[in-house]
Amino acid sequence: MELTVLNHPLVEHKLTVLRDKNTSSATFRELVSELVMLEAYEATRNLDVVDKPIETPVAPMIGKHIAEPRPIIVPVLRAGLGMLDGMTKMIPSAEVGFLGMKRDEEHPTQQITYANRLPDDLTGRQCFLIDPMLATGGTLVAATHYLAERGAKDVTAVCIIAAPEGIQFVQEHIDPSIDFKVVVCAVDEKLNEKCYIVPGLGDAGDRLYGVVD
């Protein structure tokens, strides 16, 4: 597992506003999108490209073009949807799949899959899993293995905040045959007794879309 933690003043500033409990949902959504665009720069560093001959207004040249098959972006519902706009702005040619998972509250490292809209075969595809919070790590491991069962061997997770416990869980449980990378804006202090990240930013889904009982 390769972990990248962004170290940039713009990220720190936007993340501070994002964390503030007084930040409105509208501002929260915009900041999530902006942070994801900054993360995408690192997350796509090893994106597969091929040569593409073109002509500029001055001369012919050989440029680069994203290779086929196109990468696929997979938001983990529902909070991951808030990150989708930022990712698709940076990789507009990517396809989008959807994966619905939620934490089993009685067993926080176990997940319940309730929806998926993914190709049956992901062989050869570079996959980008997007989910704001890497808390216990259970969702990320389950989602990555879900993609791997469909042939994915190159998976990059883009999260905003991570907990040390979650990072450790992922390192210990992710299938080592997967080329797996994680990009985050910050690694926070710890998880609390309810498995929420401290200091964190609260429930990302609720802050993006409101509370749903």
Q: What's the confidence (pLDDT) of residue 107?
A: 62
144 is in an annotated binding site: no
What does DSSP say about strands 107-117 and 179-184: parallel, antiparallel, or unpaired?
Answer: unpaired
37 known ligand binder: no
The answer to whether position 38 is within a domain reads: yes
Q: Structural domain tally of the chain?
A: 1
Biggest alpha carbon–alpha carbon distance for the chain: 64
pLDDT at 212: 57
Confirm or deny that 109 is annotated as ligand binding.
Answer: no
204 assigned to a ligand binding site: yes
Q: Which of 197, 207, 204 is nearest to 75 (CA)?
A: 204
CATH number, domain of 146, equals: 3.40.50.2020
Peptide bond into 70 cis (omega under 30): no
Domain assignment present for residue 167? The answer is yes
Q: Is 78 annotated as a binding residue?
A: yes
Q: What are the tokens at 88?
A: 């698709």
163 located within any domain = yes
Known binding residue 133? Answer is yes
59 known ligand binder? no
Q: Which stretches of the chain drop beneath a pLDDT of 70?
A: 102-111, 114-115, 211-213
Q: How far from chain centre, in Å, is Cα 28?
A: 17
Strand ranges inside the chain, DSSP E: 2-5, 49-55, 60-66, 72-77, 95-96, 98-104, 107-117, 126-130, 133-134, 154-158, 161-162, 179-184, 186-187, 190-191, 197-198
Residue 162 lies in a domain: yes
Report whether 51 belongs to an annotated binding site. no
Residue 167 marked as a ligand binder = no
Is 139 annotated to bind a ligand? Reply is yes
Residue at 16 is within a domain: yes
Q: Which amino acid is at 51?
A: D
Range of the domain at 79: 2-48+67-209
Q: Is residue 35 part of a domain?
A: yes
CA gap 184, 198 in Å, rounded: 15
Length of the chain: 213
Instruction: Determine the Cα angle at 195 with ends 132 and 130, to 5°.
Output: 15
pLDDT recorded at residue 108: 57
Q: Is residue 53 part of a domain?
A: no
Asked whether residue 97 is marked as a ligand-binding residue, the answer is no
Read off the DSSP letter of residue 7: -
Tokens describing residue 84 = 């989708």
Residue 126: per-residue pLDDT: 95
| 3-class DSSP state of 26 | helix
Q: Name the pTM for this structure.
A: 0.89
pLDDT given at position 100: 83
Q: Is 131 annotated as a binding residue?
A: yes
Position 114 scores a pLDDT of 67
Identity at 69, one-letter amino acid code:
P
The distance in angstroms from the start CA to the end CA of the chain is 35
Query: Is the residue at 62 inside a domain?
Result: no
> In this predicted structure, what is the pLDDT of residue 206?
86
